[in-house]
Amino acid sequence: MTGDLTGCTALVTGAGAGIGRETAVLLARRGAAVVVNARGAANGARTVSAIVADGGRARLAAGDVADPDTATRAVAEALDRFGGLDILVNNAGIAIPGTVETTSDGDLERMLAVNVKGIVHMCRAALPALRESHGVIVNVASVAALKGHHERAVYAATKGAVVALTRSMAADHVADGVRVNCVCPGTTLTPALADKIAAAADPAAQEAAFVARQPLGRLARPDEIAAAIAYVASQEAAFMTGSVLVLDGGMTM
């Protein structure tokens, strides 16, 4: 099996929908036991159910990654239920539109709390187990970290921080045998994006505007991003650390 993960345990944050759900399901199909983190327990439970129905093993660890206790509980679930932790996928994130002038302090703090502090919390809790397993961390950033986007100033800054954090953590933990990499998706047709398109005054025009940003002429599918994350997490990418894998339909070429 390509990217066989039999015997591994993975923890995926933001796995209630979209890229996170597709990643959790794919890792399970490749043999990993998966701890599913989602802020909404109902969405997380649906991901767990999908994995179990497909013959996989999964447990729910609901909670907001902005809360350090969520990280502690999620890692404990992996250790208690599955005996270890080999893969941490930091996918949870939020995007609140705005320029530096229009973004409120509350929105600024919320994006920093989830997109940056959330990764720090999860990594801090997971690293002791990942040292033992010589495991892998995959952080999900965004093409917004690499290319300017209208009214995404603070969001882009937080995702740029994820790229920088990835590289520094890779340097810090290479001697521990822990690989740390980052995936930067372009515009992806997640449920959240679909809702945004549907809510626009002219949904067709809004979708066309999103599509126009990708020179390949379409939006990414969540399963395509999940496949990249699964590759980076697998032993097929054993020589990759401190890297940024960009899947943006040619946006930054």
Catalytic positions: 155
Largest pairwise CA distance in the chain: 53
User: How far is 150 from 241, CA to CA, in rounded Å?
Assistant: 31
Strand order, beta sheet including 33-36: 58-60, 33-36, 9-12, 87-90, 136-140, 179-185, 244-247
DSSP string, 163-220: HHHHHHHHHHHGGGT-EEEEEEE-SB--HHHHHHHHHSSSHHHHHHHHHHTSTTSSPB
User: How far is 126 from 160, CA to CA, in rounded Å?
Assistant: 22
